[in-house]
Structure 1
């Protein structure tokens, strides 16, 4: 596997989705949680970025994960409704996954291999972000504390 286009994942409705759908686009992949302290700022700012850059080829792929403090306990339908109702935001929302451990989703195994973390490669918390270029290569990794607005220059450089 050399790009994200080699992966197929399940969407929030349980349907298979090839990440090849993002071919030629700049993509932000994020592990999300509804009850995290970073939830409001991240969803609000990711919506701003998507609204501003979507027409230029920018997308957001959100992967719910309940591995950090049990902060994403809901099912995908409830998560989708929460994000839409609270933030008026409809990112591409995928099925709940594990991002660490023996049962980590293959996409996240790949992302961590391509852009390792500080000290360890494991995802440390909700809202770790990976920026993918138009060729499907993972070019940057951002910590959960990195606000989406702060990566605008990185996104613009790829658009």
Structure 2
């Protein structure tokens, strides 16, 4: 399953979609409508290290994987002044409850190539690509 956007009258809408094979052709079946894609209105430039207000290496040792994902989510909500109930097109993905829950419940044992799948899930959740420390620390917390 993946997220797909449709543009209707100039607005983008996000859907959860699954690929199905019918008569030898691949068709996309909409599973669920997730909502209208919004763009972030402002960026206050708050860094994650400033948000957690402690040494990053100490923070990583102390926190669990799920708490880490939750803290990064709260940081993004704070940084961009998001309404948590909406969907936002952010970085290379969509920041919404669905993608955050998918990232929180990621299980590397269920994938043939867990590194690649984790990277896709991370980026699909709208998490920042340029914050390599966060990405690496999250991935290492999984193991």
**TM-score computed with the length of structure 2 as normaliser:** 0.31
Higher RCO structure (Cα 8 Å, ≥6 apart): 1
Q: Which has the larger radius of gyration?
A: 2
**TM-score computed with the length of structure 1 as normaliser:** 0.29
Select the structure that is richer in helix: 2
